[in-house]
Amino acid sequence: MPFGLTNAPAAFMDMMNRIYRPYLDHFVVVFVDDILIYSKSREEHGHHLHMALQTLRENQLYAKLEKCDFWLQEIQFLGHMVSQEGISVDPTKVEVVTKWVRPKNVFEVRSFLGLAGYYRRCEESFQELKRRLTTAPVLITPISGERYTVYCDASKNGLGCVLMQRGRVVAYASRQLKNHEQNYPTHDLELAAIVFALKLWRHYLYGENFEGFSDHKSLKYIFSQKDLNARQRRWLETLEDFHFTLQYHPGKANVVADALSRKAQCVLSGLVVYEWKMYDYISEFNPCFDKVIEAQRKDTKLEGIRSQIMAGDAVEGWNIHSNGGIHFLNKLCVPNDAQVKEEVMKEAHHSRFTVHPGETKMYHDLKRQYWWQGMKRDISRFVSKCLTCQQVKVEHQKPAGLLQPLPIAEWKWDHVTMDFVTGLPRTPQNRDPRFTSQFWQSLQKALGTAIKLSSAFHPQTDGQSEKVIQILEDMLRACVMDFKGNWVEHLPLIEFAYNNSFQSSIGMAPYEALYGRPCRSPMCWMESGEASLIGPELVQETTDKIRVIRDRLLAAQSRQKSYADHRRRPLEFQIGDHVFLRVTPRKGVFRFGKKGKAWSKICWAL
């Protein structure tokens, strides 16, 4: 038979069934060019093998010896492992469950527990649950003539489906959405999950009566709908090849297919999949405390202070910590050793948990744990010599005109600003249609939120967000230069470092301003203790801290305005004034659909 004919597999399969018809389901199973011969004993198997090979010779068919296996105790055949113990599941077919990573948040825990609890299996550990869900007692061999049940579900991540018979699982299946499928509407995604299941298990379901369940109620009427798009009509032809009834199944009850469709895979869900690497970074992190304490024993001045304290003489401000280190004002004293100071500052500046902070941030972070004479001067000199900072942090010019500061919020989360880092995939613009749509405005109006959009092509309107993005971009560039790899991998570390860095405007780190206490980061392992404030005391302390933060913000805002307005003249416009718009001579104007050299000078009316 020549290659390339579309009916070649069907014709060959028909021929194999005809020549092996007397032996089928007795000791021979044939699927296209795969011939499986099974027997109860070695003597019987030798006889069956001779009959099967003789049949091939009589019909002038030949098998390649290199592709044949004889006298096997276990074999993989059509998605199952066949052995003398019976039929068990092929590990590759349930890889989606066996490689299910440990849940990292509440949603993933509920998703997996829903999958496990649906079959009433209560095990002691996560690994045991995965093993029980993929072993032979759960997955059964289908019986022809028995009624099948198919559960399907779709999500923004992928498609999931389960094939069941007599209340037990025959097979699981799921796959990730393709790029073009991510743009499908919900109706088409749910229908795609059903088509995926029918095509995958066609050899089970074709010619059988079965039931299909979906948590999308409108699919019940897919066979009677008149207005269908081209994709739906094409899929409807596939559905009409099967004899089944499509019924609605609530999403809360459809836990298995839902869990398979929503399972996070690889880069799907974006950034949170890299958070597990932070645990490796923390385990590899080795603070300089031990090196500093060891260097203290080589410093004659500190050793003299140690001797006085151990002799019982009180030295004001000095004490010996439980770890053997000498502390001044409850801070570890760094000896006058240039190499030790260099390592301490390098740890606070180059590590993954700090990511090249400025000299002010670095000084306030270090002074919580360390002390030495001339500390601020040394840190300023160290930061100024950092090559990475010089490459990624450029000098910034002050904007023209007087600074117009934003109002100070009265309480936490009172004001929320949003902006986007340009140049990243799928990045909306400042005035993206999704923010200016009627739905978004109606939703915010119902929530009681006042939306204030920034002026188009004028980032100075939202200077706070722009400044934060600028800092994050510098930190990302520093991470990529120092630690290599993709910038996405460093985003969790960037967020951690920024939220735990000292902010001069509020006089503390953002984490401490929000939760009322500093974060116990790897740089602050020595801080310990339990929170003793509860109830009204905690509320009062939070209120006092908010008041202090507002006062500091007002002072910082006034100071920044005085700096920005220095040697600047006031500049105000009235509605109707004509102004000149400065454009780039080469690029022209790229906004409002106009561009070219002819538009190098344009007079706009406000």
The reply to whether 189 and 293 lie within a common domain is: no
In a domain, 2, yes or no: no
The reply to whether 85 and 95 lie within a common domain is: no
Q: At residue 345, does pLDDT exceed 90?
A: yes
- Residue 378's CATH number: 1.10.340.70
- Quote the pLDDT of residue 545: 75
316-320, 436-440, 526-530: the lowest-pLDDT one: 526-530
The reply to whether 245 and 110 lie within a common domain is: no
The backbone torsions φ and ψ at residue 535, rounded to the nearest 5 degrees and listed phi first, read 60, -135
**Average per-residue pLDDT for the chain:** 77
Q: Point out which residues pair with 213 in neighbouring strands.
A: 151, 247
The reply to whether 422 and 550 lie within a common domain is: yes
Nearest 10 degrees: Cα torsion 365, 369, 374, 376: 0
DSSP string, 308-333: HHHTT---TTEEE-TTS-EEETTEEE
pLDDT tens per residue across span 73-92: 888 777 677 777 666 666 66
Work out how many domains the chain is built from and give that number. 5
* Helix (H), strand (E) at residue 130: helix 126-133
Of 60, 89, 118, which closes a domain? 89
Q: Which of 139, 134, 114 minimizes the C-alpha distance to 263?
A: 114
The reply to whether 108 and 168 lie within a common domain is: no
pLDDT tens per residue across span 152-171: 888 888 898 889 888 888 88
Q: At residue 222, does pLDDT exceed 70?
A: yes
In a domain, 505, yes or no: yes
At 573, is the secondary structure helix, strand, or coil?
A: coil
Q: At residue 542, does pLDDT exceed 80?
A: no
The reply to whether 452 and 562 lie within a common domain is: yes
In a domain, 594, yes or no: no
How far is 385 from 383, CA to CA, in rounded Å? 5
The reply to whether 426 and 551 lie within a common domain is: yes
The reply to whether 291 and 379 lie within a common domain is: yes
pLDDT tens per residue across span 234-293: 998 889 889 998 888 876 666 656 666 655 444 434 444 455 566 666 666 778 888 999
- Quote the pLDDT of residue 488: 79
Q: CA 297, 368, 495: angle at the middle one, nearest 5?
A: 125
Q: Which of 176, 263, 285, 278 minimizes the C-alpha distance to 489?
A: 278
pLDDT tens per residue across span 127-158: 665 665 555 445 677 888 889 999 988 888 88
- Quote the pLDDT of residue 592: 42
- Residue 501's CATH number: 3.30.420
Q: Which of 106, 100, 104, 105 minimizes the C-alpha distance to 127?
A: 100
Sheet holding 158-165, edge to edge: 168-176, 158-165, 148-154, 209-214, 243-248
When pLDDT is cut at 50, 70 and 90, the band that residue 603 belongs to is: very low
467: its two tokens:
């400044």
The reply to whether 84 and 17 lie within a common domain is: yes
In a domain, 546, yes or no: yes
In a domain, 602, yes or no: no
126: its two tokens:
């996560």
- Residue 84's CATH number: 3.30.70.270
- Quote the pLDDT of residue 272: 44
The reply to whether 544 and 422 lie within a common domain is: yes
E strand spans, 348-473: 370-371
Residue pair 255/114 in contact by the 8 Å Cβ criterion: yes
- Quote the pLDDT of residue 478: 85
Residues spanned by the domain of 79: 7-89
